[in-house]
Structures are given as C-alpha cells and as structure tokens.
Amino acid sequence: MKKLTAFILVFILVVPIIPFLSPIGLGTTTIWYVSPAGNDKNAGDIQHPFQTLQKAIQASNNGDTIYLREGNYNTISSRQYGILIDRSGTPNSWYTISGYPGERAVLNGKGYILSPNYALLRIGTANTGQSYIRITNLIIENSTRDGIRAAQLGTRTSHHLRIDNVTINNCAYRGFMFWSTNPNKAWCHNITVENCIINNTQTSLSMGEGVTFFGCKDVSFHHNTLTNCPKIMLDLANNTKNCDIHHNTFITTKGSGIKLDASQSTKVSAWDENIRIYNNLFLGTYTAIKIGVEKKGGCKNISFYNNIINTKSSYPGVKLEGVKDYSSQLLENILITHNTIQVTGAGSPLQIELPPTKLRNIFITNNIFQGAGSAAWQVRSSVSNSSDSCFYFSHNMYHHATRPANTAWVNGKYRFESSAILASPEFVNSNLADFHLNVTSPALDAANPGYSVRTDYDGRSRPQHTLPDIGAYEYAFTSENEDENQNQKEKKNENETMPFKPPVITDIHITTHYQEIHKNLNISWNIIDNGYQITDTWITIISPDSTAQNYTLTTDSYLNQTYTQTGTYFFTLGVRDEHNNTDISTVYSFEITPRLTTAFVVGFIALDNQINDSLVSVHAKFLVYIQNEPFRIKIISSNEKILLQTQYVGILGPRMMIGLFNAAIL
Ligand SMILES: [Ca+2]
C-alpha cells in the first residue's frame, strides 16, 4: 500500500503567475545577484552574477538585497554555519535574501553534514544577533539540521526577522528555529513567519519540531501550512510571549499540531504568555493542540478560538496537559471559545489531564464538540470534576454521531452545563471538512455573546442575525435563505400528506468543480422514481454571461461536455414522472478556469484502503495548497498502471481545498 501512496504523492503541477518586484525604492542600497551558472569572481550584478550565496553576503553591506536566480544551490560555507547571514538591515531597509521574482531557487543541503545546533541558513553567530532581515521566495531542502535558525547565546538579540513564501522540505531537525537561551536577558523578538510551507521535518533525528519559538517575544505566525512532522509541528516554549498564531493549516497525520510547553527546567519557572491562536485548520490523526507544562511554570492568558479541528484519531482534539511529578505548574486564564471540534475515533474532542489545583480561570464556551466512532465522551477528565471552580463552561454543543452526548469526569458522566445544547450541529458536509452550519442548525444564534469574538472562521462579522452561533462559523442569513428555509419546511409538510411521492434527484456529482476551458466536465446524478415512470429529465445551465441553456435528457444520467466561457456556471436539475410529480434540485455551481495554475498536494488526511482479489484501491482524502487562483486539480501518475479518478472537490478556504479520489492498480 505504501508503494501506491508514494505514486499518488508524485502529482503535480506548475505554472505560477509570476509577480514582478522592482528594485526601485531601495535607495542607496545595492542589489546583488547569484546564479548557479555564475562565478564568485564576477561583479555580482544581474549580467555577471556570483555563484554562491555566501559570496554575495560577503560582498553585500547592511540593508542590501540579494536575488538568487532559478536553480539548485548545493553549496555551504562551513559545516558549522551552513550559510551564515552576518549582515543586518534597518527599519527602512531590511536586508533581504530572495529568490528572483517568478523563479524557483533551491538551497539544497544534500551531501553536507552540519554540526548540531546549526542550520543550512543561519542568522547570526552565537554572539552576534542580526536584525531587520527578510528571507523570501526560497525553497530550502535536505538540511541535516535545521532549515533556518536564528539564535544567540549571549545578550545580543536577533530581532525583526521576516520569513515569507519559503518552502521547507526534508530537514532532519527543524524547519525554522528561533531561539533565545536566556530570554530574561535577551529576547529573539518581532518575528514574522508568513505564507510558508513546512513539510517533512524531523526526518532522521528523534528531537525537533516543524517550527520552534524558544524564548521569543512578539511573534506573528500566519497563513502557513505544516505537515509531515513526527512530533510537534509548532512548538512555543520557554517564556515565549505575545504571539498571534492564525490562519495556518496543520496536517496532523504524523504528529500533533501545536504545543505550548512553557518550561525546559525543573528549577526555573518559565511561562508562555499572551498567546492568541485563531482561525487555524487542523486535519489529520493526532492532537491539534496541547496547552501544558513540561516542567516548571505554565501558560497564562491563552486564547484559542475560531479553530476547526477535524481529526480521525485515538487522541484528543484539544488537550490541557501537565506532568504529575512537578508540583509548581499552572494553566491560568485559558479561553477556548467558538471552535468546531470533530474527532472521529477513540479520542475525545477535549481532554483535561490536570487537576484543579493546577488550573485557574479556564473558560470553555461556544464550542461544538462532536465525536464519532468509538469515543464515548465529548469532554473527558480523569483528574478534575465538572463542578471544580476553575472551570466556566457555557453554551457548548455536545454531540456524538451514533450515541447519546456524554462527558466523563471524576464526579460522574453526563455532566453538562445548564446552557449546553445536546443536538447535532448539522454541518453542511463534514465528510469534506465543510463545517459550515445548515440553516436549520440548532447552533444558530445559540452562543453566549459574553464570550464571543467579532469575526468567524471566514472573516464574517459576528454576530449575524440576532446572536452569535456556536462553533467557528457564523451563518449568513439573507432574506433568500430564510425564505428557502421556510419553503423547505413547507415542502416537507406537503410531502408527508401527498398521495403520490414525487421522484427524487439524488447524488448530484460534478467530476470536478473546477475545469479548464474547452475541456470536458461531467455532471452525473441518480433518480429515484418511487414506482412511477419518469417522463422528463432536464438540466438548466446558466453561463457566466447569464445566458441560460436547457438540455432535455432521455435515459442518460449524466451530461459530459465542454464549456466556452470562463467563470462560474450555475445549474439545476429537474425530473418529472407520469403523474406530473416533479423534483427540482437546488442550485449547484462549477467554475471554468482559464488555465492550469499552481497547486500541490501537501498531505493526506485519511486513507481507507480496500484490497480485493486482484484490485487494490485507495480511497484518500487529500489536501491541496493553492498558490494562485483560480485553480483546478489534475492528478498525474508516474505509473500507467495506476488509474486515478477524482471524486469530489471542496473548498476549505481561499487557499486550501480538500478532495477524495480513488486509485487502483489494474
Ligand atoms: Ca447568528
């Protein structure tokens, strides 16, 4: 099965839209160029580039910019430092190392054994902090230690660091490491990591994380995608303070998403403080977030809101954890609100592993806790009581797909706050990780406004309608969907009293919701005739220019054709039987895109394998990172014996999509 999975991972695809950055406005600073085809004896201008990045750094002054032209850079300057950045910028002129706009520059560490605690790209030596440094538009791979590391041992700090649009792939230790040995003396601070992909870290060392902030202050970590790290994808440790962690995607198929572990010492207390974690997406098979203490100290003022957790896991979704051997631990002022947490498997959506003596002011409000599979509880603690004064539970929704909602505490089961709602949240399509609420959901207008936040996962202002909704999404009522809701209810009532049941159109399926212009797009459906002869089936398609086309169909249950306009098409399907009973579907849509744009698969969320006598098939849910929009998906196999068929496609957010496909060895 591994073999097949590997083939599928081979996919895809290319053709970025090329941005153009102009050097205009850099003032008196110099732009240097590096190319694998260059020479370090050159002048370093665009016509005569250097060959190595280290040479360009040596030639440059503080505040300069270095562009790496397209290609593979498989050199380092020393085993200790890899490539050392020993320059800085200023607030008005950041020292910048960038892939040339629109080009793909790869720093490749293959073949070099780096010293422990170093990196392929190192910012500052042990005693010289660097500042106002931007690293952008690069791919960094095959480091035998960290990918990028900023650290100091003394009192000089590295600060004002910005890493954006960098892809980390295959690093033995960490992707990024920001480290202050003694943060009470010197902080690594004002750090931004944005729009990066951190894939395949901790590949050969037992220690490490995807990204580590150790003793850092003023951190902004957003719009990143993290996947394939065996332990922790994002670690905030040892007095890390003032962080905003938002709009990231964590694919937790190998290890946990985020860990707040405060301290590294049994003697000196350390505190992770003032950390906001919001609008993140967690998909996979391990715990999304652990808020806890490894040794001495704890976490204070932590807000976790508007996050979506969808794990198929024997581990909890959210965990408050500690270590029993150390008594001076505390989690204080923890707000967990407006999250949608669905765990299918043996794990509970929320698990509390600390006794009340180590907890203070824990607010758990407005969350959807949904379980499915063998997990019996939505909230579980074997050391605390639901009545402990450290807890404030309010307006959470508890639901299990096949069992009654339940919690497990020391003081018993079935302990819910009086404002709890025990009902299905009625997600739009949780199979495709679409946790928007249906118009009939009991979560609508049911949250506690006192513990609400002003926008939802989509950025929509909250509340809509009368009150905030429970969970990460706020339902956008319009007069139309209120009417539609009413119509559906009336139709339902009519159906119950009708002498003839109408035919029903089901399983409407579009091969892909995104298709290139002039290429075939297939729409298929099923009709349940309820015993009467079907006389008409039709499909009405509205083109992007608002013209409508009707197709009358006879026996076929599909329409496979090309489209000549780019943009959004809408369609409805209709069916009528011999008694004139009809059914008309709701409106569906698909996009016709002008051309293929960039995307690639960043991880698998779940695999359900099926092996028959001569057929092996994979039913996989995969996650694709979209670099440009509009987009479509194409699955390319390197082995002609593998048949790949895209089944469904859904959108998770502006840059992520999720899909299911089948693969089989023929
Ligand atoms: Ca509302």
CA of 478 to the centre of ligand 1 (A): 12
Rounded to whole angstroms, how far apart are CA atoms 654 and 523?
Answer: 24
Tokens linked to 3: 């073999």
Question: Residue 55 phi/psi, 5° resolution?
Answer: -65, -40
Q: Which structural domain range is residue 655 located in? A: 599-665
Q: What is the percent of the chain where pLDDT is above 70?
A: 79
More confident residue, 598 or 168: 168
**What SS3 class is residue 439?**
coil
Give me the pLDDT at residue 540, please. 87
CA of 500 to the centre of ligand 1 (A): 38
More confident residue, 386 or 326: 386
On whether residue 410 sits in a domain, the answer given is yes
- Residues with Cβ within 8 Å of 457's Cβ and at least 6 positions away in sequence, in order, are 279, 306, 307, 308, 340, 472, 473
CA of 434 to the centre of ligand 1 (A): 18
More confident residue, 7 or 444: 444
Tokens linked to 116: 């422990």
CA of 652 to the centre of ligand 1 (A): 21
Which of 24-28, 164-168, 286-290 shows the lowest per-residue confidence on average (mean pLDDT)? Answer: 24-28
Check whether residue 214 and residue 141 sit in a common domain: yes
CA of 476 to the centre of ligand 1 (A): 8
More confident residue, 643 or 111: 111
Give me the pLDDT at residue 350, please. 98
CA of 470 to the centre of ligand 1 (A): 8
Give me the pLDDT at residue 331, please. 93
More confident residue, 475 or 157: 475
Check whether residue 548 and residue 650 sit in a common domain: no
Rounded to whole angstroms, how far apart are CA atoms 1 and 609?
Answer: 8
pLDDT over threshold 80, residue 440: yes
pLDDT averaged over every residue in the chain: 82
Check whether residue 212 and residue 84 sit in a common domain: yes
pLDDT over threshold 60, residue 23: no
Q: What band does 659 get if pLDDT is binned at 50, 70 and 90? A: low
pLDDT over threshold 80, residue 235: yes
Q: What band does 8 get if pLDDT is binned at 50, 70 and 90? A: very low
**What SS3 class is residue 6?**
helix
- For 587-646, how does the pLDDT look when each residue is reduced to its tens digit (9 = 90+)? 888 888 765 444 445 444 444 554 444 444 445 555 555 544 444 444 444 443 444 444
CA of 419 to the centre of ligand 1 (A): 17
Give me the pLDDT at residue 214, please. 92
What does pTM read for this prediction?
A: 0.74
Q: Which amino acid is at 634?
A: K
- For 189-230, how does the pLDDT look when each residue is reduced to its tens digit (9 = 90+)? 999 999 999 998 998 877 789 999 999 999 999 999 998 888
Closest CA to 388 of 411, 368, 367: 411
Q: What band does 583 get if pLDDT is binned at 50, 70 and 90? A: confident
Q: What band does 420 get if pLDDT is binned at 50, 70 and 90? A: very high
Give me the pLDDT at residue 183, please. 61
Check whether residue 569 and residue 637 sit in a common domain: no
CA of 445 to the centre of ligand 1 (A): 4
CA of 443 to the centre of ligand 1 (A): 8
Give me the pLDDT at residue 153, please. 61
On whether residue 105 sits in a domain, the answer given is yes
CA of 453 to the centre of ligand 1 (A): 12
Q: Determine the distance from the C-alpha atom of residue 185 to the mean position of all C-alpha atoms in its chain, rounded to a whole number.
A: 35
Give me the pLDDT at residue 572, please. 86
More confident residue, 235 or 482: 235
- For 477-508, how does the pLDDT look when each residue is reduced to its tens digit (9 = 90+)? 877 777 665 665 565 455 444 445 678 888 88
CA of 447 to the centre of ligand 1 (A): 8
The H-or-E segment that residue 491 falls in is helix 479-497
- For 333-362, how does the pLDDT look when each residue is reduced to its tens digit (9 = 90+)? 999 999 999 999 899 999 999 999 999 999
CA of 316 to the centre of ligand 1 (A): 28
On whether residue 247 sits in a domain, the answer given is no
CA of 586 to the centre of ligand 1 (A): 23
On whether residue 212 sits in a domain, the answer given is yes
Half-sphere exposure of 653 (CA within 13 A, CB side): 23
Highest mean pLDDT among 83-92, 150-159, 526-535: 83-92
Q: Give bridge partners of residue 516 from the DSSP assignment.
A: 593
CA of 462 to the centre of ligand 1 (A): 7
CA of 483 to the centre of ligand 1 (A): 17
First-last CA distance in the chain: 14
pLDDT over threshold 60, residue 664: no
Give me the pLDDT at residue 299, please. 94
Q: Which of 204, 230, 256 is the last residue of a domain?
A: 230
CA of 649 to the centre of ligand 1 (A): 28
By DSSP bridging, strand 318-321 and strand 289-292 are parallel
CA of 464 to the centre of ligand 1 (A): 4
CA of 368 to the centre of ligand 1 (A): 15
CA of 335 to the centre of ligand 1 (A): 21
Are 390 and 354 in contact, with CB atoms under 8 Å apart? Answer: no
Check whether residue 427 and residue 531 sit in a common domain: no
Cis bond before residue 463 (omega within 30° of 0): yes
More confident residue, 276 or 614: 276
Check whether residue 99 and residue 210 sit in a common domain: yes
CA of 457 to the centre of ligand 1 (A): 13
pLDDT over threshold 80, residue 556: no
More confident residue, 179 or 338: 338
Check whether residue 454 and residue 405 sit in a common domain: yes
Give me the pLDDT at residue 658, please. 55
Tokens linked to 530: 């309820």
On whether residue 510 sits in a domain, the answer given is yes
CA of 425 to the centre of ligand 1 (A): 14
Rounded to whole angstroms, how far apart are CA atoms 297 and 270?
Answer: 5
Rounded to whole angstroms, how far apart are CA atoms 623 and 651?
Answer: 10
Instruction: Report the phi/psi class of residue 569: left, alpha or beta, with left for phi > 0 and alpha for psi in -120 to 50.
Output: beta
Q: How many residues does the chain have?
A: 666
On whether residue 283 sits in a domain, the answer given is no
Q: Determine the distance from the C-alpha atom of residue 336 to the mean position of all C-alpha atoms in its chain, rounded to a whole number.
A: 19
User: Which 8-state DSSP code applies to residue 93?
Assistant: B
Cα 353 to Cα 259, 263, 312, 339, 368, distances in angstroms: 15, 17, 21, 20, 20
Q: Which of 213, 230, 247 is the last residue of a domain?
A: 230
State how many domains the chain has: 4
Helix %, strand %, coil % for the chain, to 5?
Answer: 5, 45, 45
Check whether residue 315 and residue 464 sit in a common domain: yes
Q: What is the percent of the chain where pLDDT is above 90?
A: 50
Give me the pLDDT at residue 48, please. 97
CA of 400 to the centre of ligand 1 (A): 23
HEC readout, 380-423: EECCCCCCCCCEEEECCEEEECCCCCCEEECCEECCCCCCCEEC
On whether residue 344 sits in a domain, the answer given is yes
Are 390 and 383 in contact, with CB atoms under 8 Å apart? Answer: no
Q: 634, exposed or middle or buried, with CB in 10 Å at 0-12, 13-18, 19+?
A: middle
CA of 465 to the centre of ligand 1 (A): 5
Q: Which of 593, 619, 647 is the last residue of a domain?
A: 593
Closest CA to 569 of 525, 538, 523, 633: 523
CA of 236 to the centre of ligand 1 (A): 34
Check whether residue 360 and residue 395 sit in a common domain: yes
Check whether residue 548 and residue 578 sit in a common domain: yes
CA of 459 to the centre of ligand 1 (A): 14
Check whether residue 537 and residue 404 sit in a common domain: no
CA of 433 to the centre of ligand 1 (A): 21
The H-or-E segment that residue 589 falls in is strand 588-593
Rounded to whole angstroms, how far apart are CA atoms 76 and 480?
Answer: 62
Question: In CATH, what number is assigned to the domain containing residue 511?
Answer: 2.60.40.10
Check whether residue 604 and residue 588 sit in a common domain: no
Rounded to whole angstroms, how far apart are CA atoms 346 and 608?
Answer: 17
Q: What band does 154 get if pLDDT is binned at 50, 70 and 90? A: low
CA of 484 to the centre of ligand 1 (A): 17
Q: What band does 463 get if pLDDT is binned at 50, 70 and 90? A: very high
Give me the pLDDT at residue 60, please. 97
Q: What mean pLDDT do residues 566-583 have? A: 83
Q: What band does 106 get if pLDDT is binned at 50, 70 and 90? A: very high
**DSSP assignments along 55-85, one per residue:** HHHHH--TT-EEEEPSEEE---SBTTTBEEE
CA of 72 to the centre of ligand 1 (A): 52
On whether residue 57 sits in a domain, the answer given is no
Cα 456 to Cα 9, 288, 340, distances in angstroms: 33, 19, 11
CA of 473 to the centre of ligand 1 (A): 9
